[in-house]
Amino acid sequence: MTVHLHWFLPTGGDGRTLVDRHAYTDGGVKRARITPVSGVRAPDIDYLAQISKAAEQLGFEAVLTPTGTWCEDAWLTTAALAQHTQRLKFLVAFRPGVISPVLAAQMAATYQRITRGRLLLNVVTGGDSTEQRRFGDHLDHDRRYARTAEFLSVVRGVWGGAPYDFEGEHFRIEGGLTALPPDPLPEIFFGGSSAAAGPVAAEHADTYLTWGEPPQQVKEKIDWIRGLAEERGRTVRFGIRLHTVSRDSAREAWAVADRLLDDLDADTVAAAQQALGRSESVGQQRMLALHGGRREALEISPNLWAGVGLVRGGAGTALVGSHADVADRIEEYHELGIEHFVLSGYPHLEEAYWFGEGVAPQLAARGLLSTVPASPLLGVPAANGRPPSAPGGAPLLVAGGR
């Protein structure tokens, strides 16, 4: 089993810091003192196209596009970006509580035809009641997961190509139909750490996603979901969501990670932790428990750094180290059963290159990647005794770092 590498589209904005990088808001972190930070990159189509093209060139299979108040709509954005790329798939996140399942099934079918089969679906049940109510959803945590189960039953039912009836607590469908079902059917990615989430994943997910916890905790999750799936006669694949900071040396990588915390004062961290602590998401609470809001001892497992989670909701850990270090950790997770790695970094354009040019070749050398992107300079003839990396006899420049 090889690994599948995916990147992330920052549709809420991007930048070189963990805060003040959003184009529209501070992401829910309320501070008494907000100092504008230069270099915030708006999520316009030109910048997102740069990231998408880089991801495609570097060999990533797909890009995850988030959903929520503080980002652009994932369906519309990625449909536009599909016109700027050729092979890249789009892992579109959406909330089942704010859209009809039959409409979602139709949208997915249309998307597959427009993009020639480049859609993956990331179902986000939602763990923040404030955010859910903003979209008109007033169900409590466990009932949201019960609704998600019904939603996915309907989606798969209407993809069958014949009228489909369904009657549940949350949906009543009469003759639901997708006249032209998607081909291929989009894979469904799903995450959730609560007792209510596990059975939904086991019954409906193709790939279960976990945030980047230490290997032993990830193994416990895999065993849990795998057992529930086996009870239902199903097989589920597994993925993990992580940030990355990889450099030519471990010292460089850890220096970059440290710089990400430079502008975080105690008030900023406290405000973020207070906001995140109100989340109903069990996965979010597990993320917070990894660091306890403290800056000390943030390396919670070899090369696994919890600094991102001091101020960022959701995925709060990063793999930090040399390219070989990061490849080691990916190999370790892979041995546990993780197949899909959904990665990101700040800024997303530059970090995609650091990973794609540094870590991906390491993974390919270990037999963990089925393909590795070819250098655009391969096949360029050598000239004047110089290697192909200096085509046409141009001087071969050697730099001390990047």
pLDDT at 400 (0 to 100): 36
pLDDT at 175 (0 to 100): 97
In tens, the pLDDT along 272-292 reads 888 888 888 888 889 888 898
pLDDT at 40 (0 to 100): 84
The pTM for the full model equals 0.89
pLDDT at 389 (0 to 100): 38
Residue 21 has pLDDT above 80, yes or no: no
Cα–Cα nearest to 310, from 350, 362, 268 = 268
3-state per-residue secondary structure call for the chain: CCCEEEEECCCCCECCCCCCCCCCCCCCCCCCCCCCCCCCECCCHHHHHHHHHHHHHHCCCEEEECCCCCCCCHHHHHHHHHHHCCCCEEEEEECHHHCCHHHHHHHHHHHHHHHCCCEEEEECCCCCHHHHHHCCCCCCHHHHHHHHHHHHHHHHHHCCCCCEEEECCCCEEEEECCCCCCCCCCCEEEECCCCCHHHHHHHHCCEEEEECCCHHHHHHHHHHHHHHHHHCCCCCEEEEEEEEEEECCHHHHHHHHHHHCCCCCHHHHHHHHHHHHCCCCHHHHHHHHCCCCCCCCCEEECCEECHHHHCCCCCCCEEEEEHHHHHHHHHHHHHHCEEEEEEECCCHHHHHHHHHHHHHHHHHHCCCCCCCCCCCCCCCCCCCCCCCCCHHHCCCCCCCCC
pLDDT at 396 (0 to 100): 33
